[in-house]
């Protein structure tokens, strides 16, 4: 092995429930996100590359507030409704994260929930386009008063599953999402390249190296790595 080759790591985590982000974690929607947000940034005289640094993980209105801090929130909310409609209609390039179909099949009978900044329509469209099941327990944009990085969504999902936040493992890819999960008192499995530099509890490039086992006492064992 070359001296500068990355070292493979293995992690074993346990939990009683899995809380799953969608975009970047289960679904690769980067192509759509970049198309829509580049267009919006240019329309508002912003540098698209700078805008793309802050869009992941948050609800759109909060991203707009970060990028245009002096603009009335009513305008951000109105633009967000338009953005959601555009993203829901544009499914070109939306595909599952590598390993996501097998992972979702493996956890089908285990306590899990979707916790996403997308609204119900967008989440349904992207999961369906990716051929992934839609979790019966889900916290979408309509269900929270505050977007990630606020922990509200994760705390609400844990409560709906009846599991203590400390016993939940969140799967996330973004700064906002990982911050939200840690603020909720959860451990985090970071998924993908964005998560690698954000100090999650454990990290995986995709879901192919994640093995889930249900133990007799109801504990979920998550093995990450080769």
**What pLDDT, in 10s, does the model give residues 92-129?**
999 999 999 999 999 999 999 999 999 999 999 999 99
Separation between Cα atoms, residue 59 and residue 119, nearest integer Å: 9
Q: What is the mean pLDDT of the chain?
A: 93
DSSP 99: T
Annotated catalytic, 21?
yes
pLDDT of residue 9: 72
Show the tokens assigned to 59: 């609800």
Tell me the pTM: 0.89
pLDDT level of residue 226 (50, 70, 90 thresholds): low
Separation between Cα atoms, residue 196 and residue 198, nearest integer Å: 6
How does pLDDT run across 153-193, given as a tens digit for each residue? 999 999 999 999 999 999 999 999 999 999 999 999 999 99
pLDDT level of residue 7 (50, 70, 90 thresholds): very low
Strands (DSSP E) along the chain, which ranges?
Answer: 11-15, 17-20, 27-28, 95-96, 112-115, 138-139, 168-172, 187-191, 202-204, 210-214, 220-224
> Who wins on pLDDT, 104 or 4?
104
Active-site option among 23, 119, 167, 173: 23
202-222 burial: b if 16+ Cβ within 10 Å, else e: bbbbbbebbebeeeeeeebeb
Token look-up 């119900």 returns: 120
Q: Cβ of 137: how many Cβ atoms within 10 Å?
A: 14
Active-site option among 21, 79, 173, 175: 21
* SS3 state at 10: coil
Lowest mean pLDDT among 49-58, 73-82, 127-136, 172-181: 49-58
């Amino acid at each position: 092995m070359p001296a500068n080759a990355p070292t493979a790591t293995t992690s074993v985590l346990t939990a009683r429930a899995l809380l799953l982000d969608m975009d970047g974690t289960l679904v690769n929607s980067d192509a759509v996100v970049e198309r829509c947000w580049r267009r919006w940034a240019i329309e508002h005289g912003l540098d698209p590359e700078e805008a793309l640094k802050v869009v992941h993980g948050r609800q759109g209105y909060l991203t707009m507030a970060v990028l245009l801090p002096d603009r009335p929130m009513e305008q951000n909310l109105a633009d967000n409704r338009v953005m959601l409609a555009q993203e829901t209609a544009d499914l070109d390039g939306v595909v599952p994260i590598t390993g996501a179909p097998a992972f979702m099949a493996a956890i089908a009978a285990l306590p899990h929930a979707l916790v996403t900044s997308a609204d119900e329509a967008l989440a349904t469209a992207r999961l369906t386009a990716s051929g992934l099941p839609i979790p019966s327990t889900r916290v979408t944009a309509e269900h929270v008063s505050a977007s990630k990085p606020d922990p509200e969504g994760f705390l609400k999902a844990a409560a709906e599953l009846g599991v203590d936040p400390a016993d939940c493992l969140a799967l996330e890819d973004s700064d906002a999402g990982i911050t939200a999960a840690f603020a909720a008192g959860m451990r985090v499995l970071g998924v993908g390249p964005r998560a690698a530099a954000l100090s999650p509890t454990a990290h995986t490039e995709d879901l192919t190296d994640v093995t889930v086992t249900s133990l007799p006492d109801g504990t979920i064992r998550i093995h990450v790595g080769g």
